Amino acid sequence: MRRTTLLRNTARALLRFRSPKSSEPFETRYVITPQVLGSGTYGTVRLAVEKATKTEFAVKIIPKSILKAKSESKAEHYVLSEIDILQRLSHPNIVSLKEIYQTHECIYLVMDLAQGGELYEQLFVKGSYTEYDARRIVQQVLSGVVYLHDRDIVHRDLKPENLLLRDHSPDADILITDFGLSKILPHRDSVLLTACGTPGYVAPEVLSQVGYGKPVDLWSTGVIAYCLLCGYTPFWGEDTPALFESIRRGEYEFEDDYWHGISAAAKAFIARLLQVDPTRRPTAQEALDDPWFKVDANASSVPAVDLTEVVKNNLQAKRTVQKAIHAVTAANAFQEAGQRRAHSKEGWHQMFRRIISSPGEVFASPRVADRALSSP
């Protein structure tokens, strides 16, 4: 009975949303390719082609079996909430929902295809990467956040992995994606309580469980800006609790080895957003009006230093250590299965330090590697 009720409620709710321009079934209009563009808790995103126009789209496929599962009692709420939010959005820096289809088995969300792929994958394609390039990215993110906040929508999971490029051009538009954790505030000053987000980018008030609102997106934008300028996130710890404590205290620094070529205006902008007290952070519009964005790109106060190698090496250090962690964890699991023995915490850190300092590997510094150990 419960499963039938859930599906009936889902069907009724979907009637509120925009119907396809054609009454044709999804399979008649589109071909789904094997190429997986991404996946999440409630569905998989695949590349699809519209048969009539040969236009490529991204299609999020949500199995209705998820909505039936007793263990996923909140699935329907999150799925319908995401659809509701996507239906309200139309902005050049936010992914656009085109059509919605449903069958007995699945819900299909047809969205614009971000042909440029993930931000980090294309960041260095044009050969040089400067503070001006990072500033342009942050400016577009803030433009999207202003649009969201004007509609009382909090994204709650802003991070580089949720920023895609519209195409492969050197100055492609940034698209904010993944609204699975987003929330429409019932009132402009409503307080949210659900703890959610990505550890390295989550705001301190979320961790402190004191209630939060739109300022969490400004904190995350500050972390993104920091990372775009040096290749690593500002907060770190030897384990997740230590990372969270660092965030709660707002403990970070601009290490001279990586920040000597960055303007004072950029550092001041980041410092404004990474205020532990959310009431001291600027609104999205105030952040967009920050002096950093007013400086002429050709002015001497905006260094033309090529950041490509520093940012790329720091990003690579993080990814390499993450792969090492996964590999060692898998090997250790097999070992524990046979010997029922685990390494001590100190043993793990000594092991990782040996891995990251192996000859032939290029890392910016042990500090960056330490950040990688605890970053998501």
Binding-site residue positions for ATP: 68
SS (H, E, C) 118-137: EHHHHCCCCCCCCHHHHHHH
Q: Is 157 a catalytic residue?
A: yes
DSSP 192: B
> What are the DSSP calls for 80-114, one per residue?
HHHHHHHHH---TTB--EEEEEE-SSEEEEEEE--
d(CA 2, CA 91): 38
Q: Please, are residues 50 and 24 in contact by the beta-carbon 8 Å criterion?
A: no
Which runs of consecutive H residues, i.e. helices, occur in the chain?
2-14, 26-29, 64-68, 75-88, 119-122, 131-150, 204-208, 215-230, 240-249, 256-259, 264-273, 284-288, 308-339, 345-356, 366-374
The SS3 call for residue 143 is helix
* Binding-site annotation, residues: 68
Catalytic residue among 133, 157, 217, 370: 157
The SS3 call for residue 254 is coil
Task: Return phi, psi of residue 187, to 5°.
Answer: -135, 155
> What are the DSSP calls for 15-26, one per residue?
TTSPPPSS-S-H
The single-letter code of the amino acid at 8 is R
The single-letter code of the amino acid at 161 is E
Annotated catalytic sites, by residue?
A: 157
